[in-house]
Amino acid sequence: MRAERRDTQARRSAADGLAEHLRSVLWGPAEFVGVPGRLLAEGVLAGTVAAAAIVGPAFAGMWGGPRGLVTGELGVVVVAALVLYLMVLRAGRVLIGLVAVLGACLSFMAPDVAAGVVLQHRGLVEPARVASVQTTTEHGRTVCSVEGVGAVRAAAEVWRGCAASIAPGDTLPVVYDPRGRVPARGVAAPGELVKAELRLAALAIVFVGVCTVAVVRSFRLEATGHGA
């Protein structure tokens, strides 16, 4: 009877140990008591610097910096470096994955919002002739291909203001960048840019928050030089 009891306790202990190991691997060990002030500051700093390095170049590239900054690829590089940093800390795998996903979303959202900001400040509006109208299957949007946008008379595809009722030969108001850095687009509805900026800011805040939690929960008692 005692042997069976010891065997049952051993199995429970093994199961508890496995569960604890999985929790540590997935979410981080978080082996601290109280508020880990240094790790908290480290996490906020890492997330904030990464968010600034993702969003800032997109705005700089759209406004007048190197054109290579407007694609969001630099942001992906920053996210990859942050993920590597968290892996070195042995942060929880779930939190690292969340940081990677949120960072990628931030990387590809920032250029679009930056383009809207640039067009709001220096964009010019003029009517353009609609060459063709089609409905995309990806977003279910109606897209108009317009011609004669800006001084270079370039062609562009816009969905803002485009509707199924519009036919080739009609005109559509289009806002374009006289410097040619930002792709032309249809005129945005009132408040659309503000909502986009708020979404970007909210995403950046969540990104910094998850990064901070990942760093804080990476604390291990046996780690040397990495304390709370």
Per domain, the residue ranges of the chain are 12-120+192-216, 124-176
List for the chain the helix, strand, coil content (%; round to 5). 55, 15, 30
SS3 218: coil
Please state, in angstroms and rounded to a whole number, the distance separating the CA atoms of residues 136 and 142: 6
Please state, in angstroms and rounded to a whole number, the distance separating the CA atoms of residues 77 and 101: 13
CATH number 2.30.30 is the correct assignment for the domain at 124-176: no
pLDDT of residue 187 exceeding 80, the answer is yes
Q: Using an 8 Å Cβ cutoff, are 39 and 228 in contact?
A: yes
CB count within 10 Å of CB 213 equals: 21
Residue % of the chain over a pLDDT of 90: 38
Radius of gyration of the chain (CA): 25
Model pLDDT, residue 121: 92
Choice among 4-13, 83-92, 140-149 with the minimum mean pLDDT: 4-13
The amino acid at residue 109 is M
Q: Please provide the size of the chain in residues.
A: 228
pTM of the model as a whole: 0.80
Q: Using an 8 Å Cβ cutoff, are 132 and 139 in contact?
A: no
- Residue (of 80, 71, 77, 85) closest to 100 by Cα position: 80
Choice among 15-29, 91-105, 176-190 with the minimum mean pLDDT: 15-29
Model pLDDT, residue 13: 54
* 112 φ/ψ angles, rounded to the nearest 5 degrees: -65, -45
Largest CA distance in the chain: 92
* 36 φ/ψ angles, rounded to the nearest 5 degrees: -80, 80
Number of Cα atoms under 13 Å in the Cβ half of residue 92: 24
Choice among 14-28, 37-51, 104-118, 145-159 with the minimum mean pLDDT: 14-28
- Residues 76-126 have pLDDT tens digits of 999 999 999 999 988 889 999 999 999 999 999 999 999 999 999 999 998
Please report which confidence band the pLDDT of residue 149 belongs to, taking 50, 70 and 90 as the band edges: low
- Residues 35-73 have pLDDT tens digits of 677 888 999 999 999 999 999 998 988 888 777 777 778
**Beta-sheet strand order (sheet of 124-135):** 154-158, 142-149, 124-135, 171-176, 185-186
Please state, in angstroms and rounded to a whole number, the distance separating the CA atoms of residues 11 and 5: 10
